[in-house]
Amino acid sequence: MLSRSDIESGYPVELASFAELLRSLSPEEMATPTRCTGWTVADVAAHVAGGLTDVVNFNLEGAGTPEWTRRQVDDRRGRTPAELADELEESREKAVGLMGAFDDEAWNGPAPAGVAGTIGTGIEGLFYDVYLHGDDIRSSIGRPSVGGPGLRASVHHVAGILTDRGFKGSTLALDGVDEVAVSGGGDAITGDPLQFVLAATGRTDPAPLGLSPDVNIYAD
């Protein structure tokens, strides 16, 4: 897991970057299908904006389920990129305030409403989610991927999930990112960090990285 300071400094910047991306989208781009099965760019944008709104307002019943995310999309159908960006920015300000309100004991304590992990890992998950969905949008409309703290957060978050799932002991020694142990460490996994994250989230084939399908954190 990233340090608290890394999350608190990086996550708001990633949210601001996503809002900027939304404001740059045309109606045609909003209608473009993405690699998230069944979702357009507009659907991905609605999920990110709606998900953060739900979190900062503690609407967490069913968090992470298909029904929870579907409601976020359905409730925002037809909204413009600017409207979604405005919502995201308003919720971003609330999120920054909430992060600062948690003392270290709460940060490292259980997340609310039965959400798995701690409050800290939950916020790291939101950091990862907004970065990865930003890349989903960029990929679908032909814009280049970006790196930075969001990519690093994604590597760390995926490593934590793989450890929780009992993935074999490995060390993520990916290009330009600090090494991260999975399940206590072991043989090195090398290569491009974004390609690793895409493989680990079922978005691309893990074989070119020398990995088996069980690296997919969303596989049953």
What's the Rg (C-alpha) of the chain? 17
Contact 45, 141 (CB under 8 A): no
Q: Which residues contact 150 (CB under 8 A, 6 or more apart)?
A: 10, 14, 17, 127, 128, 130, 131, 134
Q: In what order do the strands lie in the sheet with 187-189?
A: 180-182, 170-172, 187-189
Contact 10, 149 (CB under 8 A): yes
Q: pLDDT value at position 114?
A: 73
> Domain residues of the chain, as ranges?
1-146, 147-220
Cβ atoms within 10 Å, residue 96: 15
Q: pLDDT value at position 113?
A: 75
Q: pLDDT value at position 115?
A: 79
Q: What is the pLDDT of residues 171-181, one digit of tens each?
A: 999 999 999 99
Cα dist. 162→147, 168, 183, 207 in Å? 21, 8, 7, 17
Distance CA 84, CA 90 (A): 10
Report which secondary-structure segment, H or E, holds 140.
helix 119-140
How many residues does the structure list for the chain?
220
Q: pLDDT value at position 210?
A: 93
Q: What is the pLDDT of residues 109-160, one digit of tens each?
A: 998 877 788 999 999 999 999 999 999 999 999 999 999 999 999 999 999 9
**Greatest distance between any 2 Cα atoms in the chain:** 48
Q: pLDDT value at position 70?
A: 96
Distance CA 216, CA 196 (A): 10
Please give the model's pTM, rounded to 2 decimal places: 0.96
Q: pLDDT value at position 91?
A: 98
Contact 73, 50 (CB under 8 A): yes
Q: pLDDT value at position 116?
A: 81
Return the SS3 of 198: helix
Q: Which residues contact 66 (CB under 8 A, 6 or more apart)?
A: none
> What is the block-wise mean pLDDT of the chain (220 residues), using blocks of 10 residues?
95 98 98 97 98 95 92 97 98 96 96 86 96 98 96 98 96 97 97 98 95 93
The CATH number of domain 1-146 is 1.20.120.450: yes
